[in-house]
Structure 1
Amino acid sequence: MSSTPASSATAAAAAPAAPLRRFGRFELRGLLSKTPRSLLWLVFDPRNGQELLLAMPREKPASPEALAQWKRLADGGARINHPQLAHVVEQGEVELWPYLAYDRALGETLEERLRRQPAPLPLDVAAWVCQLLEGLAYAHEAGHVHRDLQLAHVLINATDQVRLLGLEVAQEPESSSQDFNTLTRSATREAAAQDVLAVGLMLHRLLTGKPVLDQTDLHQAMALMQPQGRELVRLGWETPHPIPDPLRAIANRSTDRQARQRYHQARTLLRALEGWRTAAAHDAGGPIALLMDKLQRYGHLPASSARLSRILGAAGLEGQHAAALSGLVLDDMALALELLRRVNNALKQSGAANSGTMLNMQRAIAMIGLNGLQAAVRSLKPWPGPLSELQATVMRSLMRRVHRAGLIAQNLRPAGFDPEVVYLVCLLQNLGRLLLQYHFPDDAQQVRQLMLPPEPTEETPNPVGMGEQAAAYAVLGCDLDALGSAVARYWGLDEDVQHMMHRASPDAPVRHAGHDTDVIRLTCSFANELVDAMVQPEGRRKHALEMATRRYARVLGLGLRDVMDALKPETARKEAAASHSPEAAREIGSSNLTLTAHLDIPPIVPSNPVGSAGAPQASALRQRLAGGAADPAGSAGGSFYVSGKLPERR
């Protein structure tokens, strides 16, 4: 017989009611998070008629001293006031169980949001994590840590405002039996680094839509990761949404298998994510906006030669030829860039920028005049600017490398291309690196550290470091070409020059150079890769040089002998002199500008020893710069890249 509705209601009334679970005066409505270190309950407070979130340690403090220590730390964390930190509405205890209470109206947990929205967009994910990092960084700088950061401890409301709860609630698993007076600053730093690693795992969880290593507890996932465990956490390619390369590099660095490669401070990870967000959204802010601000205060580069500045700033230059003056301008990277900036900004303001970019030093000097040249010299910051002694040493070393690449590019250039133009383009290809080292030396150090290969292990006996682009993404959120291009646009350089500024990707094949701008771009890229190869360890240097030569030789029409002569042009010069060919010797001599007497760089090509009557003679001004020794090479003459027009190749 089927039961009637009346009999069912009677049976339900006769059944015993479910016991009401309580914690003190609170009605327990749901367990939102349970880990070996903490608990998070959803409760109802009948006294105030509102829902609350109760955060408490997993284990009851073992002694009154331990309880007092917990209250002291929790009270300190509760006093921190920040928009991204949830406000504590009550701190108390029930039968020696301490707790912190938060208002449920602040939002749902991130775990609850993911049940409704399992695949958020990468830009939304970055925005959420950036807000979380802002609060976490503020707490860390105040001396407080979380120790058990989980998705359930992140609240998000309807307007996507993120808040973190549970500071100082969790205890270390062995802390109940420890003497709390033995806690040290190093332990707090280690706990802060674990908080940052937990944020990195959370970033992976949000981007992939899956638990990391199939673990819902982020700290259990940490225990499985290298170096403690054997698991590797990297973003796969099967994600709900495409992950941009900069964001992928940031996420992978945050969980790198080498602990030294990871982010150790919340502020550092925040800066990288903010840099990518602002670059992706094309709005003001991020490293590019910070760079523009530093340009106003410190200039683009410091003057690398005080002696050169004194000579160019002195009177009596009216009788000097523009070629001699342009050679002196190129002696200082900062002055050459300052002249480019002034001339092309003037063209842009006068409405003549449509004709292209001026890279002709002689015409630039003629345009601004001696007064303008001396004003440019006076505007430069003296060496080393805001850099420390060690940072200035690294900066000078980088300038040497850029100079060496410029000279090699001049030696590799096809016939008909002006050596000064090739040198300037090679300099502009390194503009982002120079700006990074000058304005962000600490970030530049991070990039170099990430590019170093990690320690070899049995599983990876020949490890490799990050590429320069991926390392820049992981530190800044943008690549170095973006820094250089932003400054080039700010200076008024046209699209052709911005195109030539971009080095060929080391991971992509080199395509045929169909236009003269492509020839110059690839020639300078080749020279830069050769210099990068020459600074490799001895065991990898030869292979790196061979690989670079294979990439470019066919496209540029160069052979191995051409490359060797470019790297060691003294040999070619001696052979030209031995063959009694003054023209060939002068061509080699004129293609190498003596640009770095002030950098203590030995010239790659010595002064022309041929001594022919047709060799150009050094000006009196150049003799003054060299301390009385004439430089027969003089300054390179010939055609320049002017107003966006390249010379015809012969």
Structure 2
Amino acid sequence: MTVDPERTAAHATPPQAKGPRMFGRFQLLRLLGKSDLTMGWWVIDSRNGQEFMLVLPRQQPADTAALAQWMSRARQAGRINHPGLAPLVEVGEQDRWPFVAYDRDGQATLTEKLTPQGLPAADAARWISQALAGLAFAHEAGFVHRDLQPWQVCITEQGFCRVMGLEVALNTPVAQDLSHGNAALQQQRRGAERDVLAAGLVLHHALAGAPALEQTDVAHIIAQMPPLGREIVRLPWSTARPIPDPLRAIVNRATDRQERQRYRSARTLARALDGWRIADAEQGGGPLALLLDRLRAVGVLPGLPGSTARAARMALMERERTSELADVVLDDPALCFEMLRSVNTAQVRGAQVSGAGPVLTIRRTIAMIGMDGVRRCALALREWPGPLNEAAAAELERLIARVKHVGLVAQLLRPAGYDAEVVYLVALMQNLGRLVVQYHFPDEALQIRRLMQSAPAAKPGEPDDPGMSEEGAAFAVLGTSIEDLGQAVARHWGYDEEVLTLVRRHPLNTTPHLGDSDDELLRATASCANEVVDATQQPAAKVVSALQHVVQRYGRSLHVGLRELQLAAQGREITAEEHAHPARPAASPAPRAAGPAAAPAATAAASPARGLPPAGLGAARAQAQGVRH
């Protein structure tokens, strides 16, 4: 007999005495799932015994014209060919109930795969990423899903994920009428963003083992989240399976209570998941796997305009100008990094300095690789700005100026007896991740900055909505942290764990426990300088309190106070007279870090003292003996 699908859904397991339930020629075996808008059935074709999955709207089209339009739209969507979209077998209708059919062929829905313990993180991320790739392809072709549910995500026997039900949910009249061009485009965009939010909620369900807000219909969850409702959806901390922090940040961003923080496109969310999967795969090389191909193609950073050519010319001159050449190299972080990479590779160190430790000064590097080596490094750099467009190049230039200013501040704050060049380079290396992300992932870097920005409060009198931390924003965009990317590059250059610890900033969310060893003081000095410059980027009213927080973290170990930090941020060192007659700390905040226009002055001040003995990390230790604070 022929039955109403709505009525059939309410009786998924009819009594055997009534015989098999039929929907036209299809025998209804089991209800796969249903929502307010759609339902899915596992069926068998009575003509040939073939099994299918049917997806139907819960509401009949209003009239014959609406039915014809639904059928036409479903057929158009079915022509989209992508591995992340289930191939459509048939578009049909039975008693004015339209349906689409997909081959069952051993596939299981995500709902059938789910357990109360949730899915392993790697499986859930891989499957949803594949589904998002299919959705992104459909969105770019002008189609949306509108009702993505766990039971509409199916997994093949080979472990590949596909999405069913594209364009099955009945659309609103505005979007159906293609003559309303702008309105239809806006609704298509909103529908695509809703699909991305739904995918995030499906991933939340897959990891947690239970649907958010205890609602099985994703549309009901969305209706209770801002801006429609007030419920907050975040992954619980107590889950049966561990959820890595980067993946947790990605999922929580996908369902963030602030609409501006959520992913706007399926491709962006898929990239974040793929980034985490690649970085998490130990056999794939970890975070470095995200960068290896790019490093080979365009290098670590492009050389600043004119600096590499000048260094190459100077390398052809007399060898007595090593100190002047070192100053030129230090003015260009790209050339610094390229020379340090060159000298610290296992091959060079094994051949030239067997048994010696890593090299962390440019003068020592020049002595090891020679003038010809300097020239090769300079000529190996990509010309400015590499593959970047004008806006991204300007942002990288601003970041380089900021990083060089950090190096200057670190030199001004360093304890007595420590090599200024070593301190400067350690401060630069602590920003390697930021520089690499801005150069190799400029669009993602822009997303990270936007996620870190606070937003005005929704209502007067309420506090502003805070932005994400840099680490959380990087997790949500790249799937790994900026710090880990910098560490991966440094490890790729041949640095050992001792140096990797040295060039890792002290975490902001923990209190640094500082000793008086040379390595700890060098790391603390560079970390303090980074936090000082970060503090000067705060709104004017918050700068002094931010600097006072830095004093609380490092003041005792480095013997610095608020006045010293304010002067260092301005590129000045406190004088003996100021030590003898300390002035009251200025109420006005320290100025912001020098931008590109001020970079030459900052760089000149940052050039290390030429009289200090050239050496690697060991020299800084040797000089610190007996002069340690």
TM-score between both structures, scaled by the size of structure 2:
0.88
| Equivalent position of 2:246 in the other structure | 246
Alignment deviations for residues 390-411 of structure 1 (CA, whole Å, 9 cap, x no partner): 1111111111111111111111
State the 1:138 CA deviation.
Answer: 2.6
State the 1:600 CA deviation.
Answer: 3.9
Q: Matches of 2:126 and 2:120 in 1, distance apart?
A: 10
Structure 1 residues 422, 456: CA separation in 2 closer, same or farther (over 3 Å shift)?
Answer: same
Structure 1 residues 254, 396: CA separation in 2 closer, same or farther (over 3 Å shift)?
Answer: same
- Structural mapping, 1:415-434, within 5 Å: 415-434=416-435
| Equivalent position of 2:621 in the other structure | 647
Q: Note if 1:193 corresponds to 2:167.
A: no
Q: Matches of 1:490 and 1:134 in 2, distance apart?
A: 31
Q: Note if 1:481 corresponds to 2:483.
A: yes
State the 1:643 CA deviation.
Answer: 6.5
Deviates more, 1:522-531 or 1:545-554: 545-554
State the 1:521 CA deviation.
Answer: 0.8
The answer on whether the counterparts of 1:570 and 1:605 sit within 8 Å (CA) in structure 2 is: no
| Equivalent position of 1:102 in the other structure | 102
Structure 1 residues 48, 532: CA separation in 2 closer, same or farther (over 3 Å shift)?
Answer: same
Q: Matches of 1:605 and 1:283 in 2, distance apart?
A: 41
The answer on whether the counterparts of 2:359 and 2:617 sit within 8 Å (CA) in structure 1 is: yes
Q: Matches of 2:613 and 2:448 in 1, distance apart?
A: 38
Find 2:520's aligned residue among 518, 521, 544.
Answer: 518
Q: Matches of 1:319 and 1:281 in 2, distance apart?
A: 47
Q: Note if 1:501 corresponds to 2:521.
A: no
Structure 1 residues 69, 354: CA separation in 2 closer, same or farther (over 3 Å shift)?
Answer: farther
Alignment deviations for residues 474-495 of structure 1 (CA, whole Å, 9 cap, x no partner): 0000001121111112222222
Structure 1 residues 645, 132: CA separation in 2 closer, same or farther (over 3 Å shift)?
Answer: farther
Find 1:182's aligned residue among 180, 183, 199.
Answer: 180
| Equivalent position of 2:612 in the other structure | 638
Alignment deviations for residues 447-503 of structure 1 (CA, whole Å, 9 cap, x no partner): 000000123134952321110001000000000112111111222222222111110
| Equivalent position of 1:445 in the other structure | 446
3-state SS in 1 of match to 2:90: strand
State the 1:535 CA deviation.
Answer: 0.6
Deviates more, 1:32-41 or 1:309-318: 309-318
- Structural mapping, 1:522-541, within 5 Å: 522-541=524-543
| Equivalent position of 1:151 in the other structure | 150
> Rg bigger for which structure?
1
Which sections of structure 2, spanning at least 5 residues, go unmatched? 1-14, 582-593
Deviates more, 1:470-479 or 1:554-563: 554-563
Q: Matches of 1:331 and 1:351 in 2, distance apart?
A: 26
State the 1:251 CA deviation.
Answer: 0.8
- Structural mapping, 1:290-309, within 5 Å: 290-306=290-306, 309=309
State the 1:202 CA deviation.
Answer: 0.9
Q: Matches of 2:180 and 2:59 in 1, distance apart?
A: 20
- Structural mapping, 1:320-399, within 5 Å: 320-345=320-345, 346-348=347-349, 350=351, 352=353, 354-399=355-400
State the 1:307 CA deviation.
Answer: 5.3
Question: Letter of the aligned partner of 1:376 in structure 2?
Answer: C
| Equivalent position of 2:271 in the other structure | 271
Structure 1 residues 597, 464: CA separation in 2 closer, same or farther (over 3 Å shift)?
Answer: closer
- Matched residues, number: 594
The answer on whether the counterparts of 1:312 and 1:374 sit within 8 Å (CA) in structure 2 is: yes
Q: Note if 1:127 corresponds to 2:141.
A: no
Deviates more, 1:127-136 or 1:306-315: 306-315
Structure 1 residues 410, 305: CA separation in 2 closer, same or farther (over 3 Å shift)?
Answer: same
The answer on whether the counterparts of 1:274 and 1:286 sit within 8 Å (CA) in structure 2 is: no
Question: Letter of the aligned partner of 1:27 in structure 2?
Answer: Q
Structure 1 residues 204, 319: CA separation in 2 closer, same or farther (over 3 Å shift)?
Answer: closer
| Equivalent position of 1:603 in the other structure | 601
State the 1:225 CA deviation.
Answer: 0.2
Q: Note if 1:563 corresponds to 2:562.
A: no
3-state SS in 2 of match to 1:52: strand
Structure 1 residues 210, 320: CA separation in 2 closer, same or farther (over 3 Å shift)?
Answer: same
State the 1:102 CA deviation.
Answer: 1.2
Question: Letter of the aligned partner of 1:25 in structure 2?
Answer: R
Structure 1 residues 287, 219: CA separation in 2 closer, same or farther (over 3 Å shift)?
Answer: farther
Question: Letter of the aligned partner of 2:472 in structure 1?
Answer: A
3-state SS in 2 of match to 1:636: coil
Q: Matches of 1:383 and 1:241 in 2, distance apart?
A: 47
State the 1:642 CA deviation.
Answer: 1.9
Question: Letter of the aligned partner of 1:344 in structure 2?
Answer: N
Structure 1 residues 166, 604: CA separation in 2 closer, same or farther (over 3 Å shift)?
Answer: closer
- RMSD over aligned CA atoms reads 2.8
Deviates more, 1:538-547 or 1:472-481: 538-547
Structure 1 residues 192, 321: CA separation in 2 closer, same or farther (over 3 Å shift)?
Answer: same
The answer on whether the counterparts of 2:280 and 2:286 sit within 8 Å (CA) in structure 1 is: no
Structure 1 residues 569, 401: CA separation in 2 closer, same or farther (over 3 Å shift)?
Answer: closer
Structure 1 residues 321, 132: CA separation in 2 closer, same or farther (over 3 Å shift)?
Answer: same
The answer on whether the counterparts of 2:363 and 2:615 sit within 8 Å (CA) in structure 1 is: no
Which sections of structure 1, spanning at least 5 residues, go unmatched? 1-14, 580-595, 608-630
Structure 1 residues 135, 223: CA separation in 2 closer, same or farther (over 3 Å shift)?
Answer: same
